[in-house]
Chain A
Amino acid sequence: MEKSTSAAKASPHPGEPLLEISNLRVSVPDAPNVKPIIDGISLHINAGEVVALVGESGSGKSMTALSLMQLLPTGLTTTAGTIKFDGEDILTMSQRQLNHLRGGRIAMLFQQPQAMLDPTSRVGTQVAEPIRVHRHVDRTTARARVLELLGEVGIPDPGARVDCFSYELSGGMAQRVMIAAALSANPDLLIADEPTTALDVTVQAQILKLLDDERRKRKLAVLLITHDLSIVSALADRVAVMYAGRIVEEGPTQQILKSPQHPYTKALIQCSLLKADSEGNLFSIPGGAAQARDLEKGCRFLPRCGTAAAGNLHEQCTHLEPALDSYNDCCKARCWAVKPNRAHSDVHEERRP
């Protein structure tokens, strides 16, 4: 599929990204000895752009998404950083402003579409909610619009489905309903948190095709969370790789996938190829990310990193954590083994001892 970053929606702040996350931190305030879940990530999304966020389970992708919506589960809060959306910091917004933003300008899709629908409420009612609360349309107009939307997202016989309950829908249909709801108030940014992980492969392809078509038609910016690199390569303009609450590599999709620099990104790509070595064993990254956040100092990937030993970097990697530095005109990585290109570095992050 062809990608486009052009033809973005008119923004009141031309030249600025639609969304700009800076040094965002999400912590568990009630448990002071638990390290932050998200530890200082920075990421921007331009209007109409598709940015993928990848990383293994538990790296903090969903929490990043939920902090953009300010819908973090109880117990978690954003404790540092800014999230500028269209020039305004989401973290300092009132509940009123946030309600206006949610569903109105930023919409979200989730991994388990059926669980995301209220079992006691009709599908049509839920799809209509964004237009009802954001556009203040009456019931009849909303219903007409919902029928139209359900048709647009490829639901056969919308007239019959509009009054269904979630249990009457398959996973794919439920996700189409969620997409209809997400698009109904015409948002600028769509956060899609593993929208196809729970679906089987053929349905997955249909849903991705639908998402891609709709976002082109509507010039939507998308934050696409996934751990499927083939989805990334098909849909995303840029990709950010997350590891243990941090971004470890970021850049244009094709460059990152073709020549990854960070050992974790390399390993991730290796895994996704499902290639066996000469002895017939499939490649997998040794160890787990479970305790990575608890490392006192040094690189969080060190316990699983082969590059450190090979490159004689062990001492450095143990004591100092690398910063996310530019290594060429468009890509950044957080690794001592990657030579930074200072001419392009725009990160003013301190290197932690």
Chain B
Amino acid sequence: MWMIALQRFLILCLTLVVISLLAFLVPYMSGGDPVRTIVQSRVGDMAIDPASVETMRVHLGLDRPLYVQYLGWLWSAIHGDFGYSFVSRSPVGPEVARALVVSFTLAMSALGIALAVALPLGTLSAMWPGKTIDTVATFVTQTFVAVPEYWFAPMAVLVFSLYLGILPSAGWDGPASLVLPALVLSLRPLAYFTRVSRAAMIDVLQAPYITAARSRGLNMNQTVVHHGIRNGAMPVVTLFALWLAGLLGGSVVVEVIFAIPGMGRLIYEAVVNNDVPVLQGSFVCIVALSVLINTLADALYILLNPAVRIRHVH
């Protein structure tokens, strides 16, 4: 067990080093000269003086060898210092942290909704494959996968904000402003969770221990509740973690449409403005967090499924 934990930890560290290297190289990969970009961003549309570019380069320490720059950058990054945003001139660390909290809240709400609907829906359609509930579930999941968020988002605003007037259409203040974006964001994971839990539950319901439970006199519902759902939820746990990691920086469309100050919007604006420090900081934080989340998910999986534990011990 401890060997596994140690192994996991080493993999985690290695991943972080690789990520930090990639993040550091972001400005060099985009091809342009970041220093020119900075100077250009300060002088607006005017022509730039090559001398001021060089002064800036020395000032920023960008004239040093690449590996020195990297180590310096890494050292600061480890201390949460990702430099200053080219655009807002404020430190990147706190800016990313604030956005991460927002995105995390949004993602957890969306995935919470998805899970709350998908597990029962997937389970019920597995219990009655081909019946009404299953047909409805299939239709719903197909729709949610096929129709993009930029259609659902305006529709939701139209109905709930403009027509019914019960929910704010944009912004980030209070739980009410969380409802619409979380709902819209939940639809796609909801569809995938439903599919996966249905498939898993169909397998579980064929398992010998289900027959054995029925032979002890448990009715179908009791059997599913006591011996089905926990086993059927296993693959959904893994999927949940993957989606959580993905949504942290991946809910761009929803964050932009609903004007939510999360990671998606932060990255979107940083890309538009070529704001390198923000891009680097966001990238490192998101990937590091994703890796952490997946590690935690594996731990949770082992906790939920004691039979896996023994395989890890041996």
Chain A residues within CB distance 8 Å of chain B: 66, 69, 71, 73-74, 95-96, 99-104, 107-108, 110, 112, 115-121, 125-126, 129-130, 133-134, 165-168, 178, 181-182, 185
B209 beta carbon closer than 8 Å to chain A:
yes
| Cross-chain contact B209 with A119 (CB below 8 angstroms) | yes
B310 to chain A, nearest CB (A): 5
Near A by CB (< 8 A), chain B positions 200-247 give 206-209, 211-220, 222, 226-227, 230-231
| Cross-chain contact B231 with A181 (CB below 8 angstroms) | no
14 additional A-B residue pairs with CB within 8 Å, beyond A99-B218, A182-B216: A71-B214, A95-B219, A99-B219, A102-B214, A102-B215, A102-B216, A108-B212, A115-B209, A116-B209, A120-B227, A120-B306, A129-B217, A129-B218, A167-B306
Of all chain A residues, which has the CB nearest B306?
A165
Return 13 A-B CB contacts under 8 Å, by A number. Answer: A71-B215, A102-B216, A107-B215, A110-B208, A110-B212, A119-B307, A120-B230, A120-B305, A120-B306, A121-B226, A129-B213, A129-B226, A165-B307
| Cross-chain contact B218 with A119 (CB below 8 angstroms) | no
Of all chain B residues, which has the CB nearest A130?
B216
B304 beta carbon closer than 8 Å to chain A:
yes
Rank and list the top 4 A-B pairs by shortest CB-CB distance, nearest first: A103-B217, A103-B216, A119-B307, A116-B212
| Cross-chain contact B213 with A126 (CB below 8 angstroms) | yes
A71-B211, A133-B222, A178-B212 known; A119 vs B217 contact (CB < 8 Å): no
| Cross-chain contact B217 with A120 (CB below 8 angstroms) | no
| Cross-chain contact A103 with B215 (CB below 8 angstroms) | yes
| Cross-chain contact A112 with B208 (CB below 8 angstroms) | yes
B101 to chain A, nearest CB (A): 34
Which of B212, B215, B219, B305 interacts with A117 by CB under 8 Å? B212
Q: Chain B, 294-313, contact with A by CB distance < 8 Å: what is the 0/1 string? A: 00000000001111001000
Contacts of B208 in A (CB 8 A): 110, 112, 115-116
- Scoring A66, A121, A182 by chain B CB atoms within 10 A of each residue's CB, the highest score goes to A121
Contacts of B216 in A (CB 8 A): 102-103, 107, 126, 129-130, 133, 181-182
Contacts of B310 in A (CB 8 A): 167-168
Of all chain B residues, which has the CB nearest A133?
B217
Of all chain B residues, which has the CB nearest A106?
B215
Complexed CA–CA distance, A112 and B208 (Å) = 9
Contacts of A96 in B (CB 8 A): 219
Contacts of B211 in A (CB 8 A): 66, 71, 110, 116
Which of B206, B218, B231 interacts with A120 by CB under 8 Å? B231
A110 to chain B, nearest CB (A): 6
Complexed CA–CA distance, A95 and B214 (Å) = 11
Complexed CA–CA distance, A185 and B215 (Å) = 12
Contacts of B209 in A (CB 8 A): 115-119
- The secondary structure that dominates the B interface is helix
A-B contact count (CB 8 A): 88
Chain B residues within CB distance 8 Å of chain A: 206-209, 211-220, 222, 226-227, 230-231, 304-307, 310
Contacts of B206 in A (CB 8 A): 73-74
Which of A99, A125, A166, A167 interacts with B217 by CB under 8 Å? A99
| Cross-chain contact B304 with A120 (CB below 8 angstroms) | yes
A61 to chain B, nearest CB (A): 15
Complexed CA–CA distance, A102 and B210 (Å) = 13
Contacts of B213 in A (CB 8 A): 118, 126, 129
Contacts of B215 in A (CB 8 A): 69, 71, 102-103, 107-108
Contacts of B226 in A (CB 8 A): 118, 121, 125, 129
Complexed CA–CA distance, A33 and B99 (Å) = 65
B296 to chain A, nearest CB (A): 19
Complexed CA–CA distance, A210 and B311 (Å) = 31
A99-B217, A104-B217, A121-B227 known; A166 vs B212 contact (CB < 8 Å): no
Of all chain A residues, which has the CB nearest B129?
A74
Complexed CA–CA distance, A353 and B104 (Å) = 75
Complexed CA–CA distance, A118 and B218 (Å) = 13
Contacts of B305 in A (CB 8 A): 119-120
Contacts of A134 in B (CB 8 A): 217
B127 to chain A, nearest CB (A): 12
B248 to chain A, nearest CB (A): 29
Contacts of B207 in A (CB 8 A): 115
Of all chain A residues, which has the CB nearest B231?
A120
B307 to chain A, nearest CB (A): 4
Complexed CA–CA distance, A112 and B209 (Å) = 10
A100-B217, A103-B217, A129-B218 known; A120 vs B212 contact (CB < 8 Å): no
Contacts of A129 in B (CB 8 A): 213, 216-218, 226
Of all chain A residues, which has the CB nearest B215?
A108
| Cross-chain contact A185 with B217 (CB below 8 angstroms) | yes
Contacts of B212 in A (CB 8 A): 108, 110, 116-117, 178
A275 to chain B, nearest CB (A): 36
B185 to chain A, nearest CB (A): 30
- Scoring A102, A120, A121, A134 by chain B CB atoms within 10 A of each residue's CB, the highest score goes to A120
Contacts of B306 in A (CB 8 A): 119-120, 165, 167
Of all chain B residues, which has the CB nearest A104?
B217
Complexed CA–CA distance, A185 and B214 (Å) = 14
Complexed CA–CA distance, A277 and B214 (Å) = 47
Which of B219, B220, B231, B304 interacts with A118 by CB under 8 Å? B231
Contacts of B227 in A (CB 8 A): 118, 120-121
